[in-house]
Amino acid sequence: MTVNKMTAAQVARKVIENKELFILDVRNTDAYEDWKIEGHKFDYLNIPYFNLLDGVEEIIDKIPADKEVLVVCAKEGSSLMVAEMISDAGRDAFYLEGGMKSWSMYLEPIKVGELANGGELYQFVRLGKGCLSYMAISEGEAAIIDAVRFTDVFTNFAEEKGVEIKHVFDTHLHADHISGGRHIAEQTGAAYYLPPKDAEEVVYEYTPLTEGLTVTLGASQIEVGALYSPGHTIGSTSFVIDSQYLLTGDILFIDSIGRPDLAGLAEDWVSDLRETLYTRYRELAEDLVVLPAHFMIIEELNEDGTVAKRLGDLFAENHGLNIEDEAEFRKTVTDNLPPQPNAYQQIRQVNMGKITPHNDELTEMEIGPNRCAVR
C-alpha cells in the first residue's frame, strides 16, 4: 500500500465539488473539537496521536476501505507517521501536506460574476479560516477588498489576469485575521483605504474610507461605492459594486450577523448594529447580492463554492434580520457571543501597525476558527 500527500488545494476542491473524504484527525481532542476541516460529505474519526504510538491495529476496522483516507495533524509530522502505519496495515492513506497550518492559510479564488463591460468579480475563499476576500477587475485595473495577509496570492492573481492593482480597501479594522491590505498597497503603489473611525490608533498613512466615497475602476466606470455601516466596529463600511453586489464586511453574513464586541464595546455598538441592519440596509435594493467578509459554517457555501446570497433572501431567512423588538435584539446579540477569536487583541495591534511579529507568530495568532458572528 502507498502513502501519498494531499495538498490543501486538493482538499479545497473536494469541499467545493462535494466529494467524499474520510479524515482521521490525530490532534488532541480539544483542538479537534474547536476547529477541523469541514466538508459537505466528509466523515471523521479523532484519535490523538499519542494513542496510536503502539500502532493502528485497534482502529483499522474503523477506517473505510472504500473511501479516500486523509490523516491530519497540526503541522504534518504526526499525520505522515500514522499514514505510514495505516499503509503498513494494508490500506492506502494520504497525509495533509503542512497539516492544519497549511489548511488555515490556503485561499481558493472563485469567480462570483460579471461586471459592466467585461469586468469580473472574484471571491477568494479561505476555507480553513472562513475569511472571504475580493478582487474587482475592469479594463486592466483591479481593486481588492478585505485582503488576508498572504499578499502573493493577490499580486500573482492580478499578474495572471494582466491587471494593475490600483485600490485596496479594508471594510474595517479586522480583529480575527491579519490584513494584507496595506502591504499590497505598499508593494504595488495602490491607494490603501481604511475607515477613519477605526484608524485612530494606526501608525501608518492611509486614505480615509468615508460615507459616499466612490472610486471608479477602469474606463468602464465600475463604481465601488462606500456605505457607512457601523455595528461590528464603529467604522465598519460596506461597498456596493456596480449596483449589483453588496460587500458587507463583518456586519451581515449569510447565516448570521456580526458581533459588536471585539473592541470591548458590545453594549455601545448593538444599537449601531441594529441601525445598519434594520434601517440602512433596508433602504438598499433587495436584488443586491450580499458578499460578506467571512462565513461560519460549510452550509453557507453555494454549489460553486462561493458564499453569496440575495439581500432580499436574507431579509426573509436570516434570523438576525427578523427580530422586531429592539430589547430582544439586544439580548439576542449580547447573550449569544461566541468566544473571542484567538489573540484578537494582538491581531488588532498588528493591523494598527503597532507590532510586527515574525511569520510563525502571525500563523499562530490566526490558528483556529472564524468567530466574527453572533451565534
Q: Is 317 helix (H, G, I), strand (E, B) or coil?
A: helix
112 vs 229: CA distance, rounded Å: 23
Specify burial of residue 37 (Cβ count, 10 A radius: 0-12, 13-18, 19+): buried
- 132 membership: H or E segment, kind and range: strand 131-138
Q: Which residues pair with 132 in a beta bridge?
A: 125
- For residues 146 and 169, the answer to whether their CB atoms sit within 8 Å is yes
Active-site amino acid positions: 73
Look up residue 309 and give its amino acid: K
Rounded Cα gap, residues 333 and 185, in angstroms: 35
Question: How many other C-beta atoms are found inside a 10 Å radius of the C-beta of residue 201?
Answer: 11
Q: Which amino acid is at 218?
A: G
Residue found under cell 483605504: 193
For 138, list phi and psi in degrees, rounded to 5.
-155, 120
Amino acid, single-letter form, for residue 129: K
Residue that the C-alpha cell 459554517 belongs to: 297
Q: What's the CA gap between 196 and 181, in Å, rounded?
A: 15
Q: Which residues pair with 208 in a beta bridge?
A: 194
- What's the rounded Cα separation, in Å, for the pair 306 and 287? 17
Overall size of the chain counted in residues: 375
CA distances from 136 to 118, 139, 306 (A): 11, 10, 15
118 SS3 class: helix
DSSP state, residue 179: B
Q: Which residue has the cell 503603489?
A: 189
Q: What whole-number distance in Å separates Cα of residue 173 and Cα of residue 349?
A: 10
How far apart are the C-alpha atoms of 193 and 82, rounded to whole Å? 47
